[in-house]
Amino acid sequence: MAEVSSVVRDPKRLAAVRATGLLDTDPEPQFDQYARLAALTTKAPRAFVSIVDDRHAFWKSTIGFGDLAVADRQYPVQATACQVLIGTNQPLIVEDVARDPLVRDLAMAERWGMAALAGHPVHGPGGEVLGGLWVMDSAPRAWSETEVLVLSTLAQAISAEIALRDALSRANRHVSLLQAAGKVSSELAQTLQRSLLPPLIPEMPGIDAAASFIPAAGGVIVTGDFYDLFPTGGSRWCAVLGDVSGHGVPAAQITALARYTIRADALNTLSPSRVLEQLNQALLAQRIPDERFLTAACAILRPEEGGFTGLLTTAGHPSVLLRRADGSVESLWTSGTVLGLFEDADLGQDRFTLWPGDALVMYSDGVTEAHIPDDWDLFGEGRLIKLLAESAHLDAEALVKRISDAALNHSHGHMIDDMAILALRVPPPD
């Protein structure tokens, strides 16, 4: 373990750990929520988030351990599996602790009756391994590929939360040091906003996909519109577009929680209504102090012969528009309230199909509510439907651009809200 220990003591890593300000602190809802999701989705009785310096592994969040004081949530590094995780920068998956020489003799294993263990690294903004997200069981068990993927997704979410806090802390320091605080704030907002959106839309087999985000404030304020497109296992894919109320760092934190909660839950269900129900419970568990809420449209698609079938759920969100190859447009909408306010969001779901030449368009209300100053003639769904009907020849990227250009032209460039657009199109035959 000498090589592993040297990595644990690396000065750059230790500086990154100290910069988080998380060591020896009380539990926080953001981290508790991710640990709770890890336990729930892997069906493990216990989960915890560890932050590790050169002396001890500190458990920032614990689920299934009862109430532990700060002093009871730390262990010498050599008594835990954390230094293995840090030394390898790889997941540690143990199906039977008693048979694994790396962990069977650990004091932590004996104290908590640990018989199976799975952990994934949590990284700092510079890529340093700060600790890990762990789940454990009291009986030997196999960890499925989906459970390991869920653990990876939630560990990335924790890393994103830490990066968000780091960016905010750096911005505050810059503002106090620089007179050009406006420039620093703008750069910070743009950095945070980019971190809440996928850097690239992935290539989905059989689908031409494109997306756009245009901030209302020119990128100087962090806002809550987001979109995502990702595989959920097998040949299924999930597409989601959401809108968090308000702006600033609180909205960004909720957006990050929403994206990664959706990514984790979509791996375990074929139902978009179930995905958004889980998100609603996650938002309620955060005890959002100022009653921020979230609207969303979520679709899960899979290929069928000649096209795609899908299920769609909208939660207090504008209708999703389905433009057929012949130019006709269908408005898809399901029952359901906004998320984060009520225990029962009463979410429904609807089935749809996409054939060659068809396009599915999700958008935030910044598109349909665009208007010029002092004139409440909104761009509206009617204009959007007419535009889509006239755009059957456009691919997804051109279609997204035409929508955003039309809304901006209608408002003379005046934006009262952000615009997010996601389009999925089945290419027609050559």
DSSP per-residue string spanning 16-49: HHHHHT-TT----HHHHHHHHHHHHHHT-SEEEE
Instruction: Count other C-beta atoms under 10 Å from residue 88's C-beta.
Output: 14
Mean pLDDT, contiguous 10-residue spans, the chain (430 residues): 68 92 91 92 95 93 90 87 91 94 86 93 93 95 93 93 84 59 49 62 94 72 79 93 81 82 90 95 74 90 94 96 96 92 92 97 95 88 96 94 95 85 93
Residue 393, SS3 per DSSP: coil
**pLDDT at position 179:** 47
β-strand partners of 230? 238
**pLDDT at position 257:** 84
Q: Taking the model in full, what pTM does it have?
A: 0.69
Q: What are phi and psi of 384, to 5 degrees?
A: -65, -45
Q: Residues near 363 by Cβ (< 8 Å), separated by ≥ 6?
A: 241, 318, 321, 384, 403, 419, 420, 421, 422
- Both structure tokens of 96: 């039977």
Q: Residues near 84 by Cβ (< 8 Å), separated by ≥ 6?
A: 1, 4, 92, 102, 103
**pLDDT at position 194:** 55
**pLDDT at position 174:** 63
DSSP H or E run through 303: strand 294-304
369 within 8 A of 356, measured Cβ to Cβ: no
DSSP H or E run through 168: helix 145-177
Distance CA 127, CA 87 (A): 13
**pLDDT at position 184:** 47
Q: DSSP code of 340? A: S
53 within 8 A of 23, measured Cβ to Cβ: yes
